[in-house]
Structure 1
């Protein structure tokens, strides 16, 4: 019996993924540890390894397929004593004329179901069981009229005069007439009591629609949903040169999660200005001392350490909101925002509060490099008790970052720049940056957030405290 390769769950929250690329083909012999495919998750493209030996007998899911559910069979591996020839598809293995006959009628049945479904939706707005029954009868009449129009056309009943009120027509016929610009009053109905059905519109001439002011209120109400629908091809008709790109799984996830964050998480923003001169001096001295070890510290490395120590000093901010419970953490795992092609990922520096700055610098460099190469494991970018996002290298003076749920806060770092600043009670020029903390106000009070920002400012302005 062939071995089934199933779509793996590459993260605890993964429900589906994109099979981006097959690295093997049917007939290839594989062994445990061989790379089989590249699978795109919501955060990265991961390589899928074989755990069994054998020959690839069938690639069930083609490369590029999106929305493959976790646990779905994506390939088959034949063992040593099994036939490795690709398995025949059911239609090829056992053709059956009787079985194929119903399939030929499937498109017609599907179309009929779709028409009935559209009609039911419109009739449902009337809120009456009788209206729903009338709709079903009318659509059955539509189908019967469509099938029998060539052989035995029914004698059309005269249309109801316009002066007698609303023209009788099925919801589907009414909608089609609205789209085609037809005047239902001028169409002879072949349905019950002269009711206009879909088949009656085939020979009607367009251009005879009534003016808007002559249309009755119920007709306007039914036409409103169709008129309110935006034209799906509007962007394609734009005179401005453009291109349309399909969203990647990562971009879809970013859009969904950050929309949820701004809609569901009550953000509170607290900003402080921080003098960087002492930090920059210490960084220069440390880099001179660490040069022989091949380690070079960045300002961001020192800020990650400062945030971790601040969270340990103010544990009321090292929390997550979880419905009717509050989760408090005893260590600070800092998620560092890294820009990668097509999105953003946040690799985690675990227990940054107890690590040395050189170790943090080495770890961040490794994580960022593998993040840009799409080589991070899910455990390396999931979790984290708080985040840090630094846009100072782009010259951004100050910004407010969006919290990454379920975390309770994120620190946004602006550029260090020369500004007039009070130094030792005197006006001077100093290197100053603005840092803004975004806090989940459901879990963190403003006063607690202010304490964290004060602790962060003190550690950055007196950085020797981070080395103790």
Structure 2
């Protein structure tokens, strides 16, 4: 029976993407592991591959199509002996019909980061939502007791059939309630159906007046365009990255109670120490930047103040053990925040090499999702652009972000009460008050400043 290939979810937050390029054409024979297409998300262009073998019977979404929703059928795969005549209207839905139970092909990052990096071992291949290891199946979707379709991955259906389990009695943990492999394996015979659970749930809110949805913010785009109708302008279409940045930063400023802590940090000792280290490391081709020291100082500070090494998780706070530090990297049209994991345990030269690699691949949009997701703390450095100081917006779910300004020569009063010239860098720590209180944030910033003003401490 023909098998639908669905638009894969290449990251936990992906809702839609651009089908940039097909790497196969109708009539091609593909095997498990063969590359099928290139998908553009808001952050990167990634390849995804087939999980089953067959013949590409029909391509449903043309390359270059934007805004293709996750789980939308994009192609149909035929088994041996089948032909295009076997594809009927129900097997080949139109774009936007994501009401399918077929399993998407497994996406794979264009790059191949080293194994062992990130939560999934750093493998370039990324699993889409649901059971990424399951082959797509064209078997009809099972029906619930009310006659409605039950959404379950092909592998979950097969395991349920082998174990004699009723899928209508299993609650799915996958996207949109889809039943996946783990749900079936953990299910107990005779489990109470999810629908019955919902019916028995307490109705404490019954009788309350419905809460009105807030009106859409802002003025409609066409109204704004009319305002400037008599002026010459160029309309710039928003790509996925720009839309995501706008949505996340709006969410951050509307929902995160920011407060700001500012401090000047003397860099003279650090600049001298850095110069000496770079001379010694020159033969190895290593050149440390001030930003490398800031990353290391932040990582050590998070260890010294473990209560600040935390993220907001909606109804709880998660305190991290390692120091996973994100660093903002400006690229054309937006920015990435690649994450340096376990930064507290890394040498300065190791952090420097990895940061250069991540920054380069960020600008080429070649980062895999696990390389720019996660972390508890971020650094945004605009000092190289001559900015003295600024306030950065927290990147949720991080607990804080450090805004770094330029190091400039200023007159300062030394411990002896004398005026001297020093190189001073202004920093601002933006803090999520739900996660970190004022005194705790102040202690974190103090630890960062002490490490930078006494750089030998970072080698201890």
**TM-score range for the pair, normalised by the shorter chain length:** 0.5 to 0.7
For structure 1, the 5+ residue unaligned runs are 94-227
Aligned twin of 1:235: 225
TM-score, with normalisation over the residues of structure 2? 0.67
- CA-atom RMSD in angstroms: 2.4
Change in CA separation of 1:27 and 1:464 when aligned onto 2, cut-off 3 Å: same
Q: Does 1:419 align with 2:410?
A: yes
Q: Does 1:387 align with 2:378?
A: yes
Residues 259, 433 of structure 2: 8 Å contact kept: yes
For structure 2, the 5+ residue unaligned runs are 93-217
| Residues 362-377 of structure 1 aligned to structure 2 (within 5 Å) | 362-377=353-368
Q: Does 1:452 align with 2:444?
A: yes
Change in CA separation of 1:411 and 1:229 when aligned onto 2, cut-off 3 Å: closer
Deviation at 1:388, TM superposition (A): 0.6
Q: Does 1:9 align with 2:9?
A: yes
Q: Which has the higher helix share?
A: 1
Change in CA separation of 1:346 and 1:87 when aligned onto 2, cut-off 3 Å: farther
Query: Structure 1 CA distance, aligned partners of 2:369 and 2:48?
Result: 13
Deviation at 1:279, TM superposition (A): 1.2
Aligned twin of 1:264: 255
Change in CA separation of 1:467 and 1:229 when aligned onto 2, cut-off 3 Å: closer
TM-score, with normalisation over the residues of structure 1? 0.66
Aligned length: 332
After superposition, what is the alpha-carbon deviation per residue over 1:4-28, rounded to whole angstroms, capped at 9, x for unaligned?
3221121123233222332333334
After superposition, what is the alpha-carbon deviation per residue over 1:410-429, rounded to whole angstroms, capped at 9, x for unaligned?
00100111111223432111
| Residues 23-422 of structure 1 aligned to structure 2 (within 5 Å) | 23-83=23-83, 90=89, 232=222, 235=225, 238-422=229-413
Query: Structure 2 CA distance, aligned partners of 1:387 and 1:26?
Result: 46
Query: Structure 2 CA distance, aligned partners of 1:289 and 1:229?
Result: 59
Deviation at 1:277, TM superposition (A): 1.4
Query: Structure 2 CA distance, aligned partners of 1:371 and 1:450?
Result: 32
Deviation at 1:88, TM superposition (A): 6.8
Residues 2, 86 of structure 2: 8 Å contact kept: no
Residues 2, 87 of structure 2: 8 Å contact kept: no
Deviation at 1:82, TM superposition (A): 3.8
Query: Structure 1 CA distance, aligned partners of 2:237 and 2:221?
Result: 18
Aligned twin of 1:162: none
Query: Structure 2 CA distance, aligned partners of 1:229 and 1:464?
Result: 54
Tell me whether 70-79 or 446-455 shows the greater mean CA deviation: 70-79
Change in CA separation of 1:292 and 1:57 when aligned onto 2, cut-off 3 Å: farther
Aligned twin of 2:22: 22
Q: Does 1:433 align with 2:425?
A: yes
Structure 1 counterpart SS, 2:269: helix
Deviation at 1:285, TM superposition (A): 1.8
Residues 46, 374 of structure 1: 8 Å contact kept: no
Query: Structure 2 CA distance, aligned partners of 1:259 and 1:75?
Result: 36
Query: Structure 2 CA distance, aligned partners of 1:356 and 1:79?
Result: 53
After superposition, what is the alpha-carbon deviation per residue over 1:39-85, rounded to whole angstroms, capped at 9, x for unaligned?
222332222233344443221112233332322221123345443x5
Structure with larger Rg: 1
Query: Structure 2 CA distance, aligned partners of 1:251 and 1:463?
Result: 38
Aligned twin of 1:466: 458
Query: Structure 2 CA distance, aligned partners of 1:68 and 1:269?
Result: 40
Query: Structure 2 CA distance, aligned partners of 1:51 and 1:6?
Result: 12
